[in-house]
Amino acid sequence: MFPYNKINIAVPNWREVLTGLGIQVIQSKSQFLEVMLEPNTILVTKCTMNKNQIEQGTPKELYIDYGKGDFERMVKFAEKESYFYGVLSGKGKGILFEDTIIPYYDQNPNKYTDEEYMEINSLIESKCKERGIKNIVIYGRSIALAVRVIRWTSTVKDIKIYYTTRLYSTNPLFLF
Domain extent at residue 75: 17-164
Helices (H) and strands (E) in the chain, counts: 6, 8
pLDDT in tens, 119-170: 889 999 999 999 999 999 999 988 776 777 788 887 888 999 999 999 998 8
Provide the 10 A C-beta neighbour count for residue 29. Answer: 13
CATH code, domain with 157: 3.40.50
What's the pTM value of the predicted model, to 2 decimals?
0.89
In a domain, 8, yes or no: no
Task: Give the model's pLDDT for residue 108.
Answer: 63
| pLDDT, tens digit, 9 for 90 and up, residues 23-77 | 999 999 999 999 999 999 999 998 888 888 999 999 999 988 876 789 999 999 9
Tally of domains within the chain: 1
Structural domain includes residue 157:
yes
DSSP 100: -
Q: Is 108 part of any domain?
A: yes
Mean pLDDT of the chain: 86
Residue 119 lies in a domain: yes
User: Has residue 1 been placed in a domain?
Assistant: no
The predicted model gives 8-22 an average pLDDT of 79
Q: Where are the beta strands (DSSP E) in 3-120?
A: 24-25, 41-46, 56-57, 85-89, 94-97, 102-103
Assigned domain for 38 exists: yes
The answer to whether residue 117 is domain-embedded is yes
